[in-house]
Amino acid sequence: MANINSTSGKHRTAQVAGAGFAGLTAAIALRQNGWDVTLHEKDSELRAFGAGIYLWHNGLRVLEGIDALNDVLHGTHTPPAYETWMQNKSVSKETFNGLPWRIMTRAHLHNALVKRAHEVGVKVRTNSEAVSAEAEGRLTLQTGEVLEADLIVGADGVGSKVRDSLGFKQDRWVSTDGIIRLIVPRHKDKLGDEANWDNTIDMWNFEPRVQRILYSPCNKDELYLGLMAPAADPRGSKVPLDLDVWVEMFPFLEPCLADAAKLQQARYDKYATTKLDSWVKGKVALVGDSAHAMCPALAQGAGCAMVNAFSLPQDLEEHSSVEDALAAWEKRIRPITDHTQALSGEYAANRSLSKGNMFTNEALEAARYDPIKRVYSWPQ
Ligand code: FAD
Ligand code: 5PR
C-alpha cells in the first residue's frame, strides 16, 4: 500500500489544524487512505458556525467518496428551481441541466462529517490551537507542544496561524457589501401564494435602496436567510435586525423576518478574499479558507475546500515524497479554485447575480468537476 512509509514500514502520520469543512474532509480522506491522522480544533467542541450552505455536484461527490453522502442527504433539500427576482418580479428560474445541488444547515453538514471522522478513527483534539508550522513537518501548538508528522495540513480558516507562520505572499481584501445569515422556521403556510416557497429565491432590490434576501429552504422546517445590504447602510447592516427596514422591502416574508429579528446573536459579515502565491511549503499544505477564502456568489468556498482536501491523498498515493506530492496536488487542483474565486469576486463586485441566468457553464465549472473520477462529468 502506498500509504505505508517505505523506509520505516509505519503508517504515515498527518497533523491537521482546524476542524471546519476543510479540515474534517482532509482528515477523513487521509484516514480512509490509511494515514494516522490527528485533527486539532482550537475551540472546546466541534461545532459549525454560520447558518446554511449550498453544496453542488462537486461537494456531493466528495461526500460520496468519504461515505457521508447518505447521512447528509437525509434532512436536506434540493429546490425545484433557483429563482432570481428583481424588484419583486421573477427574472429567471435555473435548473442547471439536472446538475445535482443541495441546501442544508451548516450544523447538519458538520455533524455528518464529525460522525464520519469518528467512525474512520481520526483522533480529535479539542482546545488544541495550532500557532505555527514548519516546512520540515512540524506543527506547534499554543501549549508549546511540537508535533512531528509526514504531513501538516493548515485548515485553520481565513485567519490561519499556520499560513501566517510560514510567510506566504498574500493578497487579501474585504468586500463593501456584507450579509446577515440566519436560520429561521419556514412558516411556509403563512407566506401567501405569490411564489413557490420551495424554490431558492434570490430577491434583489436596487430601489429605493440596495437590499437583497437570498431565500434558501434547507428542509421542511428550516429556512436559511441571507440578508444583504452595503456595509455603509447603517439600518440594513444593523444586528439584531432592524425589522421595519426589512419588512418594508419584503412584506411577504414578515413571519420569517419577525423570527429573524429575535435572534440576538446575529452577525453582519463582510466577504473576505485571500489569494496566496502558493498553498504548499515543504510538507505543509493549506486547504480551505486559509488558502483561498472567496466571495460566496457562486457558493463554492466550502465545495472547493472539500474537493481540494479530498484530492490530497490521491496525489500523495502517486508520489514517493510528500513534498513532490503536494506540489503536484496544487498544480493539478488549484486552477479550478482560482477560476471560481476570480469569477465569484467579479460577480460580487458587480452584483451580477441580480441579472438572473448567471449560472452559466463557466460559472458552474467547479460544480461540474467530479473529484472521484478527476474529470468534469457534467453535462453527462
Ligand atoms: P472554517 O470554517 O473557518 O474552519 C476553520 C476551523 O479551524 C474552525 O473550526 C476554527 O475554530 C478552527 N481554527 C481556527 N484557527 C485555528 C487554529 N489556530 N488551530 C486550530 N483550530 C483552529 N461555501 C459553499 O460551498 N457553499 C455556500 O453556500 C457558501 N456560502 C457562503 C456564504 C457566506 C456569506 C460566506 C462568507 C461563505 C460561504 N461559503 C460557502 C464559504 C464557506 O463557508 C467556507 O469556504 C468554508 O466554510 C471554509 O471552511 P474551512 O474549513 O476552510 O474554514
Ligand atoms: N450564494 C449563496 C450565499 O450564501 C451567498 C451568495 C450567493 C449560497 C451569500 O450568503 O451572492 O453573496 C452571495
| pLDDT, tens only, 277-319 | 999 999 999 999 999 999 999 999 999 999 999 999 999 999 9
When pLDDT is averaged across residues 324-331 and rounded to a whole number, the result is 98
When the pLDDT of each residue in the chain is averaged and rounded to a whole number, the result is: 95
- Indicate which atom in ligand 1 lies nearest the CA of residue 179: 34
pLDDT given for residue 10 in this prediction: 64
Mean pLDDT of 360-370: 97
Omega within 30 of 0 (cis) for the link into 234: no
Task: Cis check for the bond before 335: say yes or no (omega within 30 of 0).
Answer: no
Shared domain check, 372 and 316: yes
Q: Which atom of ligand 1 is nearest to the CA of 103?
A: 28
Among candidates 226, 224, 345, 349, which has minimal Cα distance to 293? 345
- Closest by CA position to 308, among listed 333, 289, 340: 333
DSSP H or E segment with residue 23: helix 21-32
Note the pLDDT of residue 2. 47
Domain with residue 36: its CATH number is 3.50.50.60
Rounded percentage of the chain residues whose pLDDT exceeds 90: 93
Q: Please report, for residues 38, 47, 60, 184, 227, the alpha-carbon distance to residue 51 in angstroms, rounded to integers and kept in the order given.
A: 27, 12, 19, 9, 12
Asked whether residue 127 is assigned to any structural domain, the reply reads yes
For residue 218, what is the domain's CATH number?
Answer: 3.30.9.10
Alpha helices, DSSP H only, in 67-196? 69-73, 106-120, 161-166
Q: Is 2 contained in some domain?
A: no
The answer to whether residue 321 scores a pLDDT higher than 60 is yes
Decide the pairing of beta strands 89-94 and 82-86: antiparallel
How far is Cα 73 from Cα 13, in angstroms, rounded to an integer? 31
The answer to whether residues 210 and 289 belong to one domain is no
Q: What does the DSSP assignment read for 301-316?
A: HHHHHHHHHHHHHHHH
C-alpha distances out from residue 50 to 128, 184, 310, Å: 21, 12, 23
Q: Residues 187, 301: one domain?
A: no
The answer to whether residues 292 and 352 belong to one domain is yes
Q: Which numbered ligand comes closest to the C-alpha of 104?
A: 1
Task: Decide if pLDDT at 380 tops 80.
Answer: no
Q: Is the CB of 42 under 6 A from ligand 1?
A: yes
Report the distance separating Cα 330 and Cα 55, nearest Å: 22
Is 142 within a domain? yes
Q: Is residue 258 very low, low, confident or very high in pLDDT (cuts 50, 70, 90)?
A: very high
Please, which residues have CB within 8 angstroms of residue 67's CB and are 6 or more apart in sequence? 32, 116
Distance CA 189, CA 223 (A): 13
Total number of domains constituting the chain: 2
Same-domain pairing of 32 and 109: yes
Q: Is the pLDDT of residue 1 over 80?
A: no
Instruction: Report residue 25 as a C-alpha cell.
Output: 474532509
- What is the CA(227)–ligand 2 centre distance, in A? 10
Structural contact between residues 277 and 168, judged by C-beta atoms closer than 8 angstroms: yes
Pocket test for ligand 1, best of 21, 46, 103, 275 (most atoms within 8 A of CB): 21
The conformation of residue 299, written as its DSSP 8-state character, comes to S
Whats the size of the chain, residue-wise? 380
Kindly give the number of the ligand 2 atom that is closest to the alpha carbon of 226.
10
Instruction: Answer yes or no: do 187 and 217 share one domain.
Output: yes
Protein residue closest via CA to atom 9 of ligand 2: 296
Give the ranges where 68-168 is alpha helix by DSSP (H): 69-73, 106-120, 161-166
Q: Please work out whether the CB of residue 21 comes within 6 Å of at least one atom of ligand 1.
A: yes
pLDDT at residue 85, rounded to an integer: 98
Q: Whose CA is nearest to atom 34 of ligand 1?
A: 296
> In sequence order, what are the beta bridge partners of 140?
132, 146
Same domain membership, residue 155 and residue 100: yes
Alpha-carbon distance of 207 to 257, in angstroms, equals 20
Joined grid coordinates for residue 184: 429561521
- Average pLDDT for residues 157-185, to the nearest whole number? 95
C-alpha span between 374 and 351 (Å, rounded): 32
Q: Is 297 in the pocket of ligand 2 (CB under 6 A)?
A: yes
What domain range includes position 248? Answer: 174-270
Residue 7's pLDDT is: 43
Beta carbon of 178 within 6 Å of any ligand 1 atom: no
Q: Which of residues 231, 255, 270 is at a domain's end?
A: 270
Cell numbers found for residue 349: 463586485
Cis amide bond preceding 240, omega within 30: yes
The last residue of one of the domains, among 248, 270, 292, is 270
Distance (Å) from CA 137 to ligand 1 centroid: 24
Q: Is 65 exposed, middle or buried (0-12, 13-18, 19+ CB in 10 A)?
A: buried
Please identify which residue in the block is written with the cell numbers 481540494: 308
Q: How confident is the model at residue 379 (pLDDT cuts 50, 70, 90)?
A: confident
Task: Give yes or no: residues 146 and 57 share one domain.
Answer: yes
Q: What is the percent of the chain where pLDDT is above 70?
A: 97
φ, ψ dihedrals at 54, nearest 5°: -100, 135
Measured between alpha carbons, how far is 107 from 105 in angstroms, rounded to an integer? 5
Are 27 and 147 part of one and the same domain? Answer: yes
Q: Rounded to whole angstroms, how far apart are CA atoms 302 and 179?
A: 17
Of 169-178, 277-286, 346-355, give the lowest mean pLDDT range: 169-178
Question: What's the mean pLDDT in 74-103?
Answer: 97
Domain-embedded: residue 89: no
Amino acid at 72: V
* Span 13-61, pLDDT tens digits: 999 999 999 999 999 999 999 999 999 999 999 999 889 999 999 999 9
What grid cell was written down for 108? 447538519
Which of 102, 179, 183, 269 best tests ligand 2's pocket when mutated (most atoms within 8 Å of CB)?
179
pLDDT exceeds cutoff 90 at 267: yes
Let me know if residue 1 belongs to a domain. no
Q: What is the pLDDT of residues 110-120, one digit of tens each?
A: 999 999 999 99
Categorize the per-residue pLDDT at 322 as very low, low, confident or very high, splitting at 50, 70 and 90. Answer: very high
- C-alpha distances in Å from residue 22, one per residue of 109, 196, 301, 306: 12, 34, 10, 5
